[in-house]
Amino acid sequence: MRILVTGGAGYIGSVVAEQLVKTGHKVVVLDNLSQGHRAAVPPEAVFIKGDLADSAMLRHVFAQHRPEAVMHFASHTLVSESVQKPFLYLGANVVNGINLLRAMLEHGTKRFILSSTANLFDNPPKIPIDETAPIVPGSPYGESKFILERILYWLEKTQELRYASLRYFNAAGATAERGEDHNPETHLIPIVLSVALGKRTAVTIYGDDYPTPDGTCIRDYIHVSDLARAHILALEALDAGSRIYNLGNGRGFSVRQVIETARKITGHPIPAEVGPRRPGDPPVLVASSEKIRRELGWQPEFTDLESIIASAWHWHRKFPDGYPD
């Protein structure tokens, strides 16, 4: 299948593109490289540098490459930044998504996978969180993803679009050639590992007064390769209808547990200091992925925190300065 991957030079998008290529799909990556890296794009994929705000460019891409499906990762993704700059997220994320959807429907493409988020669930009434949990976005970033989900709902009803929205929790880990390299880096595991590499002096724990056993936030970490396989399974299932899935391992680990596990794996003391809470961070987010396990047979291969962090550590040691571009 010919598949357009927006944001395919980013962390998750590049790993999905890698797995799509390995499974025999023809991949076109569209990315403006504001957050992604040209070197992260699989060499077998066609790369186009472009911005989703450019509707004329999008029409040209669809006319030239005729993708049969779209996987949409391109987005502003920082929760804390979205609180400070709500119009950037409620504006650009939504408008760019609409540009993409309009272009694909104009050219007859009717399969769409949305990279959604666990930030749809702010202080959920029960843990683990399944797909029936009430949607209460925890930030403008989460709200922007929910708006796109609602647009997809109506496009299915009015335009015969088939879609899957994958609400994943904390993506982590690395493949042999692709890992996390953000600027600025906001994800816990690469920050912790950068301390072990000597690039930072300490890791900051943002709040130790949450209502959790050790006072720090608890998150569900899912390996990026397991996420990628879920995207491919969801794409293959679209002919049977649209669908929404929560994606995680179903186990939660606190910030302090992540730091302690990284200390064991790296052999580095990894100093930690406590800072103030970050806006938009709920105390506990743990997924129930029973629905996708039951319907699509998805099973994560990386089910423990140690193996996830070890894969990331291997990548960061191999590429201590990240991607060359």
From 141, 163, 210, 221, the catalytic residue = 141
Measure the CA–CA gap between 99 and 108, rounded to whole angstroms. Answer: 14
At a CB cut-off of 8 Å and minimum separation 6, what does 141 contact?
Answer: 76, 77, 78, 79, 81, 82, 89, 93, 117, 119, 280
List of residues 6+ apart from 37 with CB closer than 8 A = 9, 14, 181, 322, 323, 325
Q: Which amino acid is at 177?
A: E
CB 290 within 8 A of CB 243: no
141 as an active site residue: the answer is yes
Angle at the Cα of 40 from the Cα atoms of 38 and 45, rounded to 5 degrees: 80
Please state the separation of Cα 177 from the chain's center in Å.
18
Which residues are bridge partners to 247 per DSSP? 168
Strands (E), 138-238: 162-168, 170-172, 203-206, 218-219, 221-223
**In the chain, which ranges are E strands?**
2-6, 26-31, 46-49, 69-72, 111-117, 162-168, 170-172, 203-206, 218-219, 221-223, 243-247, 253-254, 272-275, 284-285
Q: Are strands 162-168 and 46-49 parallel, antiparallel or unpaired?
A: unpaired
What residues act catalytically? 141
